[in-house]
Structure 1
Amino acid sequence: MSGAVTPPQGTPKLRIRGLRKAFGSKQVLDGIDLDVASGTSMVVIGGSGSGKSVLLRCILGLIEPDAGSIEVDGVDVLRLRRREREAVNRRIGMLFQNGALFDSLTVWENVAFGLMARRQINRRDAREKAGDVLRQVGLDPSVGLLSPSELSGGMQKRVGLARAIAAQPEILFFDEPTTGLDPIMGAVIDGLIVECVRTLGSTAIAITHDMASATRIGDAAAMLYRGRLVWQGPAASLLESGNPLVDQFTHGRREGPISMELRR
């Protein structure tokens, strides 16, 4: 892939060390260490305000952390110049929580937006490319002529996924991919995500509250609590982690260490 970096053997695709971020007196990220191996999917779970979205935004370069390092293929992106960082970001695809489609553009223009914005493709070829990508997410290319407002929530998620994979990114981020979807459509979207990630050979990071989604998408999982990673392990072990914080969260129990702290 153009612009790709060949890392030393054994180097994680994403390596985070000592990541810290505060807003005023509130410490949102408090020394995060996380590795994501190349070609694997990591899901990060945690309650509202635990720091999941801030972590994602730090990795994407939307927020500057106070301390720590974020390495992609062994290169600390926090120390790159703007143009170099933009080159790294071009290797990343993102599925936003609510789709974040542009209402003023047609579906196919949304799908090919990044490619056209970077002048990687002309409009005629972009429309054909968008049709091909829409097929990958189970939509007929004719959907490309519609506006986002004409789509159901599930279709909007598919279009958002199509846009995320259009440039064949090395890294994919998913922000609450099943939010607002019924359980069946959530399972469909998860299946498409897994299929697309495997087809591209991408590395994926997802943040989610949906435990069924987490176990379907993830190879590995981690839980954030009060700005710290309190558990990491196989995603298949989320419901049987043996960690009291994780067990309470994943099973939705009212009683446990999290509720005890909330009562103080």
Structure 2
Amino acid sequence: MSTSLPKIRIRDLHKSFGTKKVLDGVNLDVAQGTSFVIIGGSGSGKSVLLRCILGLIIPDSGSIEIDGENILTATDKRREALRGEIGMLFQNAALFDSLPVWENVTFGLLARKRLKRPQAREHAGSILAQVGLDPSVGDLYPSELSGGMQKRVGLARAIAATPNILFFDEPTTGLDPIMGAVIDGLIVDCVKKLGSTAIAITHDMASAQRIGDEAAMLYKGQLIWQGPASSLMHSGNAMVDQFTHGRREGPITMELRK
């Protein structure tokens, strides 16, 4: 095994919104080339953690390192360069309705002027083919696509710039079980082909086991368990066991608003 630095290293990360603690001392290492899945209930801090790594939210304290470099103390220019190495598949694809599919796929490349429009159109066709869509889909608009096709386009956009890091925010939400499995298969294939490091957040236990090498559970802003994704359904942790099996009875209780 390599002894090199983890691709992503997070230490003692804290974030509060008013009096509500969302991240409460998160520590996490994600090795290069690993597909890491984070599970947890709504409000557990999963999305906030991803947004902190992306730089969309500034944590209150702690460190986030990519290849040993603390992105929280980097210059704005350096942070922007690091963000350019990250591809993101958003929960609802988050496509731009006013742009054709090919411009959605190559949006980041065009915005950073890494490709001219004729090259971008051709590049989009090849990327769409990688996610199982005919290049002619590039001329359609998002409103003309099914939910599964929109997810594929979102995945194509995420991998268009051959990123070193990929984030997946609830990649199977809104999809039927078969299409969910198809999207998961495409995610696994794309991550392996690129050799990228991936972090996915999900409530879907079948998806978590299909796409994850390692997994962890966030509860009340803390990582309470970490291990192989294949162990999610038999972790030996009472909270993880209750969550993954969807049991009403257990140590996790629903908090009611007063």
Superposition TM-score tier, normalisation by shorter sequence: over 0.9
The question of 1:165 aligning with 2:156 is answered no
Residue pairs, 1:62-211, within 5 angstroms: 62-211=56-205
Paired position in structure 2 for 1:24 = 18
> 2 CA distance for matches of 1:9 and 1:167?
28
Letter in 2 for 1:221: A
Paired position in structure 2 for 1:222 = 216
Q: Which runs of 4+ in 1 moved over 2 A?
A: 261-264
The question of 1:245 aligning with 2:239 is answered yes
Alignment RMSD:
1.2
2:50 to 45, 49, 56: 56
> 1 CA distance for matches of 2:108 and 2:57?
21
Give unmatched runs, 5+ long, in structure 2.
none
TM-score, normalising length: structure 1 = 0.95
What's the offset of the Cα at 1:263?
7.7
The question of 1:256 aligning with 2:254 is answered no
CA displacement 1:103-155 (0-9 Å, x = unmatched): 01000010011111110011101000000000000000000000000000000
> 1 CA distance for matches of 2:29 and 2:204?
22
What's the offset of the Cα at 1:10?
1.3
Paired position in structure 2 for 1:4 = none
What's the offset of the Cα at 1:262?
4.0
Give unmatched runs, 5+ long, in structure 1.
1-7
| Aligned residues with identical type, % of pairs | 74
CA displacement 1:9-67 (0-9 Å, x = unmatched): 51000000000000111111000000000001000000000000110110100000001
SS at match of 2:252: helix
> 2 CA distance for matches of 1:146 and 1:202?
29
Q: How many residues align?
A: 256
